[in-house]
Amino acid sequence: MTEKNSAGIKEAVVIALWAFALIAAYDLADTAMRLYSGGGQAAAAGWNMTLTVCAVAAGCVIVYFALTRCAASFTYEARGKDLLITRKIGHREKTVRIKYEHIVLFSRKRPVKPIKPIYKMRKTVFSNKNTYYLVYKSKSAQGTVVFEPSETLAAEITSKMKEGSYKWQK
């Protein structure tokens, strides 16, 4: 079974709203500095430069989040005895391959002490409604994967895992 997801439109809308709020805050601060500068052109120019630098830096942060969150595609694939989870952003691709027998925990609840590295392979940023946490350990690798499979894929994962080799928590 294979599922393909792309990052949400909701996050793109929120990022656009933050960008508009940033522009509005910049305009308000610029207007306030011009009104209350008291005729000091040097002070007004200094504040204007500071506001411009802050606006450009905040804009870069917004663009970074837009590119890393909204341009991503995720593939969750149950293949034989393995679970493949792939995140693709542009030309960069990260794949985590986990054998069902190495799964220690598969849960909707966040583990108390997640094992690092933690791979965030989910499309939403603001909501944890459909999030699953998968902790795996083997001789060569260990880690935690945070992802958003459908209910059918989650049921397939739990059915393929060996009895007694995992803890399932709703």
pLDDT tens digits, residue range 130-139? 899 999 988 8
Report the amino acid identity of residue 42. A
pLDDT tens-digit map of 53-110? 777 787 777 777 666 666 778 889 988 888 999 988 777 889 999 988 888 889 888 8
> Phi then psi for 4, rounded to 5 degrees?
-120, 130
Residue type, 72: A
40: amino acid identity, one letter = G
CATH of domain 74-169: 2.30.29.30
Contact 111, 133 (CB under 8 A): yes
